[in-house]
Structure 1
Amino acid sequence: MTGGAFARPLPGDGLVAQEGELSLVCAAPDAVTAPLVDALLAALREVAEAGGDGPELVRRAARVLAARRGGRPAACAVAGPSGASGLAVLVSGEAAARVMLADGREMRVGGGPHGPSERTVEGPVASLELALGGAGRAEPRLRLASGVVRGGGLRRAVRRRAASAPPPAPPPADRPMAVAPAPATAVERGPLPPTPVDGTPAGAEGAPEEKVSLIRRHPKRRPGGPRVLGVNCKNEHFNDPRAHYCAVCGISMLQLTLSPFHGPRPPLGVLLLDDGQAVPLEDDQLVGRRPERAPEVAEGRAHPLRMTDAEESISRRHVLVRLREWQVAVVDLGSANGTAVRAPGAAEFVRLPPDTPVELAPGATVRVGLARTFRFESNRNV
């Protein structure tokens, strides 16, 4: 998608609502939940009419959900812009949000068992997906700019808001107004200096110039995962100390004098599910039929990754994809139908013993239950 404010509904049995850049997905109302759904739709409409943003919609939706007494958390998700390029998200019950950042990273928000989860994602954000359990794939020909339709979720691009510049300060009364020089032509201007991730142009007035060592962490790097011991290539990419080549630019690390330091760990790869879903490995992933109810997820130690099958051979809390330092391992959590791994190039799956971490090599395939699989891929070979 390109940067319009429309959404593409996902097939499903819930309700999908879009008003401008504000989005809502919720389970279809029944006799019990109809007042709650009506209140959420009213909040979306009123915030949009008042010109509100994502944080205001999240606050309104949180108040609506807090007023509900008893029962399971309602399945719903709302999202809207925050600041110039960020996004505010609230997810409750059996709903989920996937936020794709402009730099290719993906962030997920799932509803907790004890109440909604709120998150403000710092931008720039490229796209958003809100989905209920069992939502289908988006039909690229469908567009929803405003209104409410039947569906299991939505997917849309996120448009950057233009930052409003403050009005120029008037000149002092005793000093004539300076005349701005004529703008440089494209040839005269030359290439613009690189801009760090915090938005401050390099060499801006008042910002001291910083000298960056080839083997120390760049001071302007965006914080990432947990801090681990690693080394930088000469292009300032943080790597596994055992790596012979940089995982980002491919340059050789063998001729550099490297000094290890603790820095934020980058994603270690991606899980490619057999249904086409791609999950970046930034944190531990708990895979199962009802992973959001697992203690690891409730305590914030892992993200839920739901997998289901027709045979119901996948346990509610089935297998943990565990990240330790630079290694990725799988741990079968005592599931009823087991977890098996097929090494890269091997013909057969090998069943894992329960509660025993087994390290994954890039290209390994993991079978969950009787038939569902995912593959671990990474360019961080050592």
Structure 2
Amino acid sequence: MSGGSRAFARPLPGDGLVAQEGELSLVCAAPDAVTAPLVDALLTALQEVAEAGDDGAELVRRAARALAGRAGKRPPACAVAGPSGRSGLAVLVSGEAAARVMLADGDEVRVGGGPHGPSERTVEGPVASLELTLGGAGRAEPRLRLASGVVRGGGLRRAVRRPPAPPAARPVAPARPTTAERGPLPPTPVDGVPAAGAEDPPRERVSLIRRHPKRRPGGPQVLGVNCKNEHFNDPRAHYCAVCGISMLQLTLSPFHGPRPPLGVLLLDDGQTVPLEDDQLVGRRPDRAPEVAEGRAHPLRMTDAEESISRRHVLVRLEEWQVNVVDLGSANGTAVRAPGAADFVRLPADTPVELAPGATVRVGLTRTFRFESNRKV
């Protein structure tokens, strides 16, 4: 692996920076007067690691060292990734950036930045594809290719090249049996047509549909509209959440269809939870009646102070809206709106809508952030 590799990425539209050198990738928010030295340090690390022929683990170490100088400050939005080991991938995500790694078996791994510093992870492969994004990244243009250099963008998407498998040991041919041992020869096919009496060789079963056993075919039925490219959207949306096209000039015909995920929850420990169903957050959420009755998925959160109740807060999806409900917890739930400085404690058993970018504090110290490109 080196900077001379023929690998390439597809930039996603956006206002940040996207860089690619061989199998090494970087995305970061556009620099300003404060973050310019950090961005320059990350770009330099990317180039030097590629030129030295090092791997993604070394790029992650260099990026973590550069970010360590900003301890105590708001984590900048950036992410780096590159191969690690024979088939793995090393990833670092900071701030409001995110990484999505698709494995060859169809499983998906998501990594999000935390409020207290970057999240590092080595994803064991084999890895099929990688996506690094900043907030508000658009849809990839399939004609764009970036093999080496830096461009403007909101993220990147690329296939991950895996090293070829080692050649299999050549089997030793067994001794040829005699005519008496092998019996009469089978009928010989003519022009590719099996002769009478010949058995058909066993056929390999090939599926033309790539199945994901953990993924549901669709969410609950809700009223929505299609954009010009037939992406299902919130009827209130001004722009398509998938391709970004304007919905304002279209004649929209609402209909009921399966609701797509409404976004993700980014936990402060780096865990990422797609919002396809209600999430019951607590110290022992598996014992909550909502989970036992199948109305919510359990999301376990604990802290050293033991300030999180067993059944603490519910993230509830209603049509296209994401609400948060404190369930009468002992130490409360608080929400900090996007751009606000302070948390506001929620009244018990009262639904409050979450806006994309809002942060929820559970108990005294633990937090998660709601992110979504489905903005109205």
TM-score (norm 2): 0.48
Kindly indicate whether the alpha-carbon contact (under 8 Å) linking 1:129 and 1:156 is maintained by their aligned counterparts in 2.
Answer: yes
Aligned counterparts of 2:250 and 2:137: Cα–Cα separation in 1: 49
Residues 50 and 236 of structure 1: CA distance in aligned 2, closer, same or farther (over 3 Å): same
RMSD between aligned residues = 16.2
Q: CA deviation at 1:204?
A: 34
1:191 CA displacement: 24
Pair 1:232 & 2:232 matched: no
Deviation for aligned residue 1:68: 2.4
Per-residue CA deviations over 1:338-381 (Å, capped at 9, x if unaligned) read 99999999999999997599999999999999999999999999
**Which range is displaced more, 202-211 or 326-335?**
202-211
Runs of 4+ off more than 2 Å: 1-4, 68-71, 167-173, 179-382
Give 1:71 shift: 2.5
Secondary structure in 2 matching 1:170: coil
Report deviation, 1:41: 0.2
* C-alpha contact 2:111 2:272 (8 A) present in aligned 1: no
- Give the gaps of 5 or more residues in structure 2: none
Q: Does the C-alpha gap of structure 1 residues 214 and 306 become closer, same or farther in structure 2, counting only changes over 3 Å?
A: closer
1:334–1:80 Cα change, 3 Å: farther
Q: Which has the larger radius of gyration?
A: 2
Relative distance call for 1:273 and 1:3 in structure 2 (3 A) is farther
Taking the aligned partners of 2:3 and 2:95, their CA distance within structure 1 comes to: 29
SS at match of 1:236: coil
Query: CA 1:292–1:121 in 2, change beyond 3 Å: closer, same or farther?
Result: farther
Instruction: State the shift of 1:279 in Å.
Output: 7.4
**Is the CA contact 2:265–2:275 (under 8 Å) kept in the aligned structure 1?**
yes
Shift of 1:247: 30
Change (3 A) 1:57 1:313: same
Between 70-79 and 58-67, report the one with greater CA deviation: 70-79
**TM-score, normalization by structure 1:** 0.47
Instruction: Go from structure 1 to structure 2 and tell me whether the alpha carbon gap of 1:246 and 1:56 turns closer, same or farther (over 3 Å shift).
Output: closer
Query: Which stretch of the first structure deviates more once superposed, 266-275 or 247-256?
Result: 247-256
Q: Percent identity?
A: 91
Give 1:243 deviation, angstroms. Answer: 39
| Residue in structure 1 matched with residue 362 of structure 2 by the alignment | 368
Alignment CA distance shift 1:197-1:180 (3 Å): same
The question of whether the paired residues in 2 share the 8 Å contact of 1:196 and 1:220 is answered with no
Tell me if the contact between 2:45 and 2:59 (Cα under 8 Å) persists in the aligned partners: yes
Residue 105 of structure 2 corresponds to which residue in structure 1? 103
Query: Alpha-carbon deviation of 1:312?
Result: 32
| Aligned equivalent of 1:3 | 3
Q: Which residue of 1 aligns with 2:120?
A: 118
CA distance in 1, matches of 2:322, 2:186: 38
Moved more, 279-288 or 69-78: 279-288
Report the Cα offset of residue 82 of structure 1.
Answer: 0.9
Does structure 1 conserve the Cα–Cα contact (< 8 Å) formed by 2:55 and 2:82? yes
Q: Does the aligned pair in 1 maintain the 2:264–2:275 contact within 8 Å?
A: yes
Shift of residue 97, structure 1, vs aligned partner: 0.4
Question: CA deviation digits over 1:108-141, x for unaligned, max 9?
Answer: 1000000000000000111110001111111111
Tell me: CA distance 1:59–1:366, structure 2 relative to 1, closer, same or farther (3 Å). closer
Aligned residues: 371
Relative to 1, partners in 2 of residues 1:249 and 1:68: Cα closer, same or farther, differing over 3 Å? Answer: closer
CA contact (8 A) 2:3 2:51 kept: no
* CA shift for structure 1 position 221: 19
Q: CA offset at residue 83 of structure 1?
A: 1.1
**Are the structure 2 counterparts of residues 366 and 15 from structure 1 closer, same or farther at C-alpha, using a change threshold of 3 Å?**
closer
CA contact (8 A) 2:2 2:51 kept: no
The answer to whether the 8 Å contact 1:88/1:120 transfers is yes
Offset, 1:314: 23
Q: Is the 8 A contact 1:216 1:259 kept in 2?
A: no
Structure 1 portions without partners, runs of 5+: 159-166
> Equivalents in 2 of 1:67, 1:195: separation in Å?
75
What is the Cα deviation at residue 80 of structure 1?
Answer: 0.3
Cα distance in 2 between the residues matched to 1:126 and 1:76: 22
What SS does the aligned partner of 2:39 have?
A: helix
Contact kept in structure 2, 1:20 and 1:146, CA below 8 Å? yes
Query: Quick one: structure 1 residues 101 and 319, their matched pair in 2 at CA, closer, same or farther if it must change by over 3 Å?
Result: farther
Structure 1 residues 236 and 210, CA gap change in structure 2 (3 angstroms): farther
**8 A Cα contact 2:2 2:54, kept in partner:** no
Q: What pairs with 1:117-196 in structure 2 (closer than 5 Å)? A: 117-158=119-160
Name the SS for the 1:297 alignment partner. Answer: helix
> Structure 1 residues 71, 125: closer, same or farther in 2, change over 3 A?
same
